[in-house]
Amino acid sequence: MTWLDGLAAHLAAVGPLGLAWSPDAVYPDGVVGLALEHVPPAPDQVVVLTGYEGEEASSSTAYDMPRLQVRARGTPDPSVSRARCQRIYDHLHGLGPVQLPDGTELQLVIGRGSGPAYMGQDQAGRHEHVANFDVNLYNPNRRGRSA
């Protein structure tokens, strides 16, 4: 498991977000599922979590600082993906410290920019919005170093 798995499980546990999480990312129609690092062709509505390189890690701290992109695909109505992405942004911005279901110690999540950005429509006419975040994670491989 990775911190993305833990974050997906955390988001699925937040009832008002209305998201489902399955590691194999297979969801029936009508379920808004979470996927990691790829946009599956189905279901129509999906949220994709992608981690990418963040700030340079320091050997003097016990934290890694990756970045996160949340990509929400909705319906032919752009307000659907915009609203879902905004709810996720509102939940994640300022989150921490919290222990994720996989055991990852998430120290802090800070939104980059001022919220979701429009990405356009996919080939099926479904609108997409994204939000980006800076993430601070405790790295147990650096035990004994000052935090």
Residue keyed to tokens 């790295």: 139
CB neighbours of 10 closer than 8 A, spacing ≥ 6? 98, 100, 101
Tell me the pLDDT of the chain averaged across its residues: 92
pLDDT at 140: 80
Q: Can you give the pTM of this predicted structure?
A: 0.92
- Give me the residue spans of the domains in the chain: 3-142
Mean per-residue pLDDT, 63-74: 96
Strands (E), 61-102: 63-64, 67-73, 98-99
* DSSP letter (8 states) at residue 105: E
pLDDT at 147: 47
Q: Domain 3-142 is of which CATH architecture?
A: 2-Layer Sandwich (3.30)
pLDDT at 93: 97
On whether the CB atoms of residues 54 and 66 are closer than 8 A, the answer is: yes
Q: What tokens does 142 get?
A: 């650096």
Q: Which long-range contacts (CB under 8 A, 24 or more apart) does 24-29 make?
A: none
